[in-house]
Structure 1
């Protein structure tokens, strides 16, 4: 919300959402603009975990998920019907190929419009969702909902919409509006197969809390879902090359169910003990690989299907092996001290600089720092040899001692990393308020260490 109002320096409030609400501070977007004091809001509008290559690979995965939804039992049989619909509309006039393209664009527009609106609406609840996720019970409930939807895709129960809604969505209209209407109502007609996956994705987007990301995620999903139909409509003569419907579509549906299980693991992971944070995703990946690759008995009429199952199963096993091996080989992390005045006095006596990390379990950049930067071998070695490392956990608000530290060091949000020189004075130019990769963090450590070395080599005045 603060970002949308134009603020530049935005932090995650270390006191948490309940304290923010108690103080009567705004919890939704407002056209009033900045406050009279000119201070930036301390509530961030978005989870920043989707950036750079992570964003690209996530969107590619969502596009692939949209394409895979075409292979579910509710959508795949509709492909010849949809393509024939486009062809029939285009054949009524000339030039038919141009009309075919226009009908396809209308269909994609309708599909994208429906899903993108859902994504934006879900993400607009992200302020509330992100705050609720600070309570460990809420991620567990969200994970439970995702598992429930996954069991539907596994065939344990069926998601059915009211008959009147399905009947209304099944109506046929002529012209370009007919193609637009088909796109708008695809989600209703195919709800038993794609509904659980879309609802699970909506839950994830709500946790992100960014309307732009919500729109982009569901727009890309719509392209993945609608583009194959559009292309097949342009080359309708190739329809006979499509594999016949069969058990392989149930296998694809189970694949999407395992995607939801993976999303459930993503939500619940931050509240688990450290060892379970590693074991859970590895266990999910192993189970998915064994189920999809070898335990599932569905067959298909085309010869490539057994190879496809083996490739997916083997890929999951390789990924799980890579994760567990990387975790086993990463070595020890930084050894942290709890904050105390005695620790700081000891650091001054030993002429060692101090690094203080203010973090919370619900803070994504905090977890990135902990799992990546603070386990990097060079960072760990420097910390052990030349620094005193102190961690302050502000996950649970209300501790008077923690609140006093937040005021003492002027902490506006988490993560915040404070660098103290050998005299116990802060180097404000080095303070960090976001994730920093290991190489850049080493530069900060070197700058702090250099100031200590320079001071030690200064000539002393004599009488």
Structure 2
């Protein structure tokens, strides 16, 4: 079986999970509903089924590697300070057992969420559809950040502590901590898992789905496992290392930044554009000048100044880009009448399935759909329609999701002048303007048979 692994290919594949090819194994079509003519005759006759033997082993190894790669995403990486703080404060023996329990908690949570989404056809990130959930996660991250600042000692939440303290040296506390971190990380694993979900759904086996997602989560949790083992030694470092206190405060600001990240969907566009730069600027000023932490080596002062300058530069560039950008592409709000009118114009149609809580959706809107070339091409040659999925329950939206088999956001589909989808142009992730413009050019040409 030939398996192609690569961060960009897996993460951005427009038809979901990469197509797996093997002798005597049916090749499954993409989740976008690729027509049977694009598959082999054997694939038409043989429905997708579970993998066996070496095919299963190599597939799981590939998924495991993909899980490890997901730790490089900006949503999961900032969870590292939580692991350091939690395990650094635990005493006693059995750090390996605690670390393993922590990893199992992450794996179990993501497996359950993934299989549930696959079986129900729900959208990844649906847990973030209610503002109260966003506020809860932001509050949790803020509280954890204040612990890193030294305002209080980080402990497991009270309800979990009641269970964990029954056996202080046991593994129940780390297990629940892993469960909690799995919930926080679930909305962040995005398009990679979206493609994997559609592939699991096509296999038709909940048990296989659990094994696949459990393997993916083990790959995600492996770095945390080793980090937990190492963090047990952090508390035993010499107290004279005051620079570690400064590092903790830096991690605290990372947690505050993550809280702001989850709050941005609740804010207006202009306020959301200011929040993160303001937080970064505040972090730089505090860490470089207001904080009086000292260290025993001269380079520490240069490090503080470098962090401050980097923070100020990031804040300036981010805020400038947010307010200097020109007008964006104009989208019509979806309803059945708009679709009829769009078809009557004879122009190709671009439908953007988006949501306020979706970070890649905002990237598409603020970067790609504000690019001058994309805006001009869209205005002259396309009809743009947006389906806002921030809130569920709209019957017209639900019908459209089923019609086009939309499994997650962002999803951008292209319809030709007859109203038929161009399956080869479907997009399920953020894409920079240059590449999106290439899709628009292809959408304006007739599909070659």
What interval of TM-score do these two structures reach, taking the shorter chain for normalisation? 0.5 to 0.7
Q: 1:52 to 1:378 in 2, by over 3 A?
A: farther
Q: Is the 8 A contact 1:251 1:292 kept in 2?
A: yes
Q: 3-state DSSP class of the match of 2:428?
A: coil
Q: 3-state DSSP class of the match of 1:392?
A: strand
Find out whether 1:115 has 2:108 as its counterpart. no
* Aligned equivalent of 2:377: 382
* Aligned equivalent of 1:432: 426
Q: 3-state DSSP class of the match of 1:383?
A: helix
Find out whether 1:220 has 2:223 as its counterpart. yes
Question: What is the TM-score when the length of structure 2 is the normalising length?
Answer: 0.62
Please list, as runs of the form range in 1=range in 2, the aligned pairs for 1:25-424 lying within 5 A after superposition.
55-56=71-72, 58=74, 61=77, 65=81, 109-110=96-97, 112-124=99-111, 126=113, 130-160=125-155, 201-208=181-188, 211-212=214-215, 214-224=217-227, 226=229, 245=240, 247-339=242-334, 343=338, 351-363=346-358, 365-403=360-398, 405-406=400-401, 409-415=403-409, 416-422=411-417, 424=418
Q: 3-state DSSP class of the match of 1:123?
A: helix
Q: 3-state DSSP class of the match of 2:384?
A: strand
Q: Is the 8 A contact 1:356 1:392 kept in 2?
A: yes
Q: Is the 8 A contact 1:59 1:220 kept in 2?
A: no
Q: 3-state DSSP class of the match of 2:143?
A: helix
Q: 1:256 to 1:122 in 2, by over 3 A?
A: farther
Deviation at 1:315, TM superposition (A): 2.0
Q: Is the 8 A contact 2:354 2:387 kept in 1?
A: yes
Instruction: Calculate the aligned-residue CA RMSD, in Å.
Output: 4.7
Q: Is the 8 A contact 1:358 1:394 kept in 2?
A: yes
Q: Is the 8 A contact 1:373 1:379 kept in 2?
A: yes
- State the Cα deviation string for residues 353-398 of structure 1 (Å, max 9, x = none): 3222233334555444334432333222210222221212233233
- State the Cα deviation string for residues 80-111 of structure 1 (Å, max 9, x = none): xx9xxxxxxxxxxxxxxxxxxxxxxx988546
Q: Is the 8 A contact 1:331 1:377 kept in 2?
A: yes
Q: 1:426 to 1:150 in 2, by over 3 A?
A: same
- State the Cα deviation string for residues 137-185 of structure 1 (Å, max 9, x = none): 1111111111122222222222357799789768xxxxxxxxxx9xx89
Q: 3-state DSSP class of the match of 1:355?
A: strand
- State the Cα deviation string for residues 104-143 of structure 1 (Å, max 9, x = none): xx98854642432232234345458943322121111111
Q: 1:67 to 1:366 in 2, by over 3 A?
A: closer
Q: 3-state DSSP class of the match of 2:226?
A: helix
Q: 3-state DSSP class of the match of 2:302?
A: helix
Q: Is the 8 A contact 1:150 1:258 kept in 2?
A: yes
Answer 1 or 2: higher relative contact order, Cα 8 Å, separation at least 6: 2
CA distance in 2, matches of 1:378, 1:51: 36
CA distance in 1, matches of 2:163, 2:180: 24
CA distance in 2, matches of 1:8, 1:440: 24
Q: 1:201 to 1:307 in 2, by over 3 A?
A: farther
* Aligned equivalent of 1:442: 437
CA distance in 2, matches of 1:412, 1:297: 52
CA distance in 2, matches of 1:54, 1:143: 22
Q: 1:208 to 1:353 in 2, by over 3 A?
A: closer
* Aligned equivalent of 1:28: none
Question: What is the TM-score when the length of structure 1 is the normalising length?
Answer: 0.60
- State the Cα deviation string for residues 271-328 of structure 1 (Å, max 9, x = none): 3322233222212211111111111122233333322222222222222223223333
Query: Higher mean Cα deviation, 281-290 or 326-335?
Result: 326-335
CA distance in 2, matches of 1:60, 1:343: 39
Q: Is the 8 A contact 2:348 2:383 kept in 1?
A: yes
CA distance in 2, matches of 1:212, 1:244: 39
CA distance in 1, matches of 2:68, 2:328: 26
Q: 1:425 to 1:228 in 2, by over 3 A?
A: closer
Larger Rg computed on CA atoms = 1
Q: Is the 8 A contact 1:149 1:200 kept in 2?
A: no
Deviation at 1:334, TM superposition (A): 1.0
Q: Is the 8 A contact 2:355 2:389 kept in 1?
A: yes
